[in-house]
Amino acid sequence: MAKRRYLFFDIDGTLAAGGYGRTYIPDSAVLALQRLRAAGHVLALATGRAQAMAVDYMRELGFEHMVSDGGYGVTVDGDLLGITPLSRERVIALIRECEEKGFPWGLQVDNSATRLVPDGRFADFTHDVYMRTRVVPGLDPEDYPELYKAYVACFAPDEEQLDLLRELPWCRFHKEYLFVEPSDKAFGIRRVMDHFEVSYDRAVVFGDAKNDLSMFVDGWTKVAMGNAIDELKARADYVTSDVEDDGIYRACEALGLFEPVDE
């Protein structure tokens, strides 16, 4: 019999189809998760989302473990073990540069689905529905001991004007703004594997986007969706079909993951 594997799934574009704000989980992916659990594997989410913004997926799909916040948050057996914030000094410096150069900005200062902004400019620029936005007049990043994410409203390539952005991890998922957030999913995955005291080579990761590059590293099995970016596919051990074309199910079947495990 095969050994138990520890499977880590990105959400948007990997488990979930439909795009941001319109996501749904294909029936074939739900069935795959059921069969994987029945076989005896350990399943976890691996997302850039804040833990609070992914917990509904955990409950809906029956996950007990999660790497969140781009790798800086770890949840095991339903309990959040902690979230490591970004460098406070660097985020404050970036916000000051945004203010100087006229870029609307926002902050995430806790584990929630709400970003804080100093005025209405961010919402007016982005018309964003990804998460709630709350105006805090006079918002000052120095008033908060921990800064988990920042958001900068601009179209590409205007972010090149921000020198201090080069000192922080960031990614663009929407054309109207970018996310300044942790990007080291492998860090969180290793923490989960260490918690269970198993070797890293028993991990299998599934992803599609630029922020998944951080978990497509040597030492474990890497599965890229058919809709993944080319750079991710180039690093993958296996490339499956699109998320909307039974990609998760087909990958698990091809890799023999539906076979029962012995440990």
Delineate the domains of the chain, giving CATH numbers in brackets.
6-84+183-254 (3.40.50.1000), 88-180 (3.30.1240.10)
pLDDT tens per residue across span 225-249 = 999 999 999 999 999 999 999 999 9
* 159, 165 Cβ separation under 8 angstroms: yes
pLDDT number for residue 221? 98
pLDDT tens per residue across span 116-165 = 999 999 999 999 988 999 999 999 999 999 999 999 999 999 999 999 99
Show the 3-state SS of 8-63. Answer: EECCECCCEECCCCCCECCHHHHHHHHHHHHHCCEEEEECCCCHHHHHHHHHHHCC
Buried b (16+ CB within 10 A) or exposed e, 47-71: bbbbbbbbbebbeebebebbbbbbb
In the predicted model, what is the mean pLDDT of residues 43-58? 92
* 181, 70 Cβ separation under 8 angstroms: yes
233: number of Cβ within 10 Å: 17
Residue with tokens 């978990």: 215
pLDDT tens per residue across span 72-105 = 999 999 999 999 999 999 999 999 999 999 999 9
In the predicted model, what is the mean pLDDT of residues 182-191? 95
Predicted model pTM? 0.88
Distances (CA, A) of 123 to 110, 117, 141, 152, 228: 20, 9, 18, 11, 29
Burial class (CB in 10 A: 0-12, 13-18, 19+), 120: exposed
pLDDT tens per residue across span 165-185 = 999 999 998 999 999 999 899
What distance lies between CA 10 and its chain's CA centroid?
6
